[in-house]
Amino acid sequence: MVKQYRRVVTGAHYGVKDWLVQRVTAVLMAVYLLLLTGILFVVAPQDYAAWKGIFSHQWMRIASFVFFICVFWHAWIGMRNILMDYVHSTAIRLTVQMLVIISLVFYLVWSAEILWS
Amino acid sequence: MEAKLHNKRPKHLNLFKIKQPLPAVVSILHRISGVLLFFPGIPLLLCSLQMLLQSQQSFEALQDCLRNPMIKLILLLPLWFFLHHLCSGIRHLLLDLHVGITLTQARAGSKLVLMAGIMLTVVAGLMLW
């Protein structure tokens, strides 16, 4: 009798993970923006001190930083998908993908610097 | 066989000659707006946030910048990109949950997304002015 092997479909699995990350980050960003809109409606900041005041709370800085991490992660997956779809030359695609990664890492540091200075 | 050899159907898809259905338009706008939100969207956002929070001087510089009606008008464009991306993103999430996946619903949904993006831009624009 021939033993039946169940064929395991292998792969890097980052497809499903990226799909999920794209959606989770999207929801987190939407929640943050709702929160921010609410705060801006309630506080209605007019001058520099009021704006600075909103972002001086530690929880607001952390929430904003989480928002930025979501933006950058979301942007990476989106840019990668688009580049994989339209740029067929491996050399150009990898070069642009590297530029995207480098710029996102730079933005991450920059956003932390803005929020905590 | 004979009929196959002589048919005159186009051999490749010319994007400028075929009429895209509305869901396709909404979908490609999601991609285009996504790229534009990445660049120049993100650096512009960080730049404005820095000007907003850095010092009294930079805050006033940002205020002056935003008072310029020309800049206000130009700002409507990134605003629309963002709002369209948001609305069609919500549609994507609903489609993932199998909400509105029949053809008629998908068409109605994409029409709704397109209209919502434009309407929200108008509302936000009115609040800006």
Domain spans of chain B, in order of start = 22-36+69-128
Return the percentage of chain B with pLDDT > 70, whole number: 91
CB contact under 8 A, B56 and A51: no
Q: Please report the pLDDT score of residue B87 as a whole number.
A: 96
Average pLDDT in chain B: 89
Residue A2 domain-assigned (yes or no): no
Q: What is the CA radius of gyration of chain B?
A: 21
With H, G, I as helix, E, B as strand and everything else as coil, classify residue A69.
Answer: helix
- A53-100 per-position pLDDT tens digit: 999 999 999 999 999 999 999 999 999 999 999 999 999 999 999 999
- For residue B33, the chain A residue with the least C-alpha distance is A78
- For residue B46, the chain A residue with the least C-alpha distance is A111
Closest CA to B124 of A70, A26, A37: A37
CB contact under 8 A, B53 and A111: no
Residue A7 domain-assigned (yes or no): no
- B40-91 per-position pLDDT tens digit: 999 999 999 999 999 999 999 999 999 999 999 999 999 999 999 999 999 9
d(CA B16, CA B119): 28
Chain B environment of A107 (Cβ under 8 Å): 42-43, 46
Residue A4 domain-assigned (yes or no): no
Does A78 lie at the interface with B, CB-CB under 8 angstroms? yes
CATH code for the domain in which residue A67 is found: 1.20.1300.10
Residue A1 has pLDDT above 70, yes or no: no
Question: Who wins on pLDDT, A56 or B16?
Answer: A56
User: What is the architecture, at CATH level 2, of domain B22-36+69-128?
Assistant: Up-down Bundle (1.20)
Using CB atoms, pick whichever of B38, B52, B54 lies closest to residue A75.
B38
Average pLDDT in chain A: 92
Q: Please report the pLDDT score of residue A64 as a whole number.
A: 98
Question: Who wins on pLDDT, A114 or B11?
Answer: A114
Q: How many domains does chain A have?
A: 1
CB contact under 8 A, A26 and B34: no
Residue A43 domain-assigned (yes or no): yes
Q: How far is CA A10 from CA A7, A14, A16, A22, A77, in A?
A: 9, 11, 12, 22, 21
Residue A8 domain-assigned (yes or no): no
CB contact under 8 A, A75 and B37: yes
Chain B environment of A79 (Cβ under 8 Å): 34-35, 38
Look up the ipTM and state it: 0.87
List the single range of A6-15, A27-36, A39-48 with lowest mean pLDDT: A6-15
Q: Please report the pLDDT score of residue A105 as a whole number.
A: 98
Does A79 lie at the interface with B, CB-CB under 8 angstroms? yes
**Which residues constitute the domain of residue A76?**
14-115
Q: Please report the pLDDT score of residue B21 as a whole number.
A: 86
Chain A environment of B37 (Cβ under 8 Å): 75
